């Protein structure tokens, strides 16, 4: 016997307005990360707000670069990357590094990770990964990495992306809000 919900007819599909979809998705606050690697002796990196945990066993994480990202096409050849979780102290850095055609490492203090990947010295957390899988999904690619090493220094407030802007959490009278 089929569940009752399976018999409810679906409404006809309507085109979703891209601007309205962007506005709706922007209502979901996300963290911000800087994904880094090295190719031919040069550091490469990109800002993402799509970083998420996938699995604890095995340890998998993911992020979603734009399918037309020239930077990701170059980075993927390394087959290894580091995810640097950004804090509120990275706001100016993230704004700069999110732009196309800029030196994304300008003003960044780098150090060498466990597997010699370039990582931010002051990241909230660093997860060093091997490229596990890639899945094409619309205008983005879902990149899955297997975590091989990690570093979690002292706690600091996270950088948040919400409604098209970088911000942070404010706690007032027991309430948490996002300030941009």
Omega within 30 of 0 (cis) for the link into 58: yes
At residue 64, the 3 state secondary structure works out as coil
> Could you give the CA distance from residue 50 to residue 141 in angstroms, rounded to a whole number?
11
Q: What's the token pair of residue 64?
A: 């979603």
pLDDT score of 161: 80
| pLDDT(130) > 60 | yes
| pLDDT(26) > 90 | no
pTM score of the predicted model = 0.82
pLDDT digits (tens, 9 = 90+) for 137-152: 999 999 999 999 999 9
End-to-end CA separation in angstroms for the chain: 51
pLDDT digits (tens, 9 = 90+) for 84-105: 999 989 989 999 999 988 999 9
- What CATH fold (topology level) applies to the domain 30-179? Pnp Oxidase; Chain A (2.30.110)
> Could you give the CA distance from residue 129 to residue 146 in angstroms, rounded to a whole number?
5
Beta bridge partners of 33: 48, 85
Domain residue limits, the chain:
30-179
| pLDDT(18) > 80 | yes
């Amino acid at each position: 016997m089929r569940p009752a919900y399976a018999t409810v007819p679906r409404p006809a599909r309507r085109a979703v307005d891209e601007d309205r979809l962007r506005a709706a998705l922007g209502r979901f606050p996300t963290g911000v990360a800087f994904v880094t690697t090295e190719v031919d002796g040069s550091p490469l990196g990109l800002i993402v707000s799509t970083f998420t945990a996938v699995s604890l066993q095995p340890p998998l994480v993911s992020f979603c670069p734009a399918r037309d990202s020239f930077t990701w096409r170059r980075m993927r050849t390394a087959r290894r990357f580091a995810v640097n979780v950004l804090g509120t102290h990275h706001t100016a850095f993230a704004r700069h590094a999110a732009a196309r055609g800029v030196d994304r490492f300008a003003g960044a203090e780098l150090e060498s990770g466990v597997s010699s990947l370039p990582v931010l010295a002051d990241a909230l957390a660093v997860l060093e990964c091997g490229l596990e899988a890639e899945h094409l999904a619309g205008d983005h690619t879902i990149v899955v990495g297997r975590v091989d090493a990690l570093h979690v220094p002292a706690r600091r407030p996270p950088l948040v992306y919400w409604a098209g802007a970088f911000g942070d959490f404010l706690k007032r009278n027991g309430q948490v809000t996002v300030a941009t």
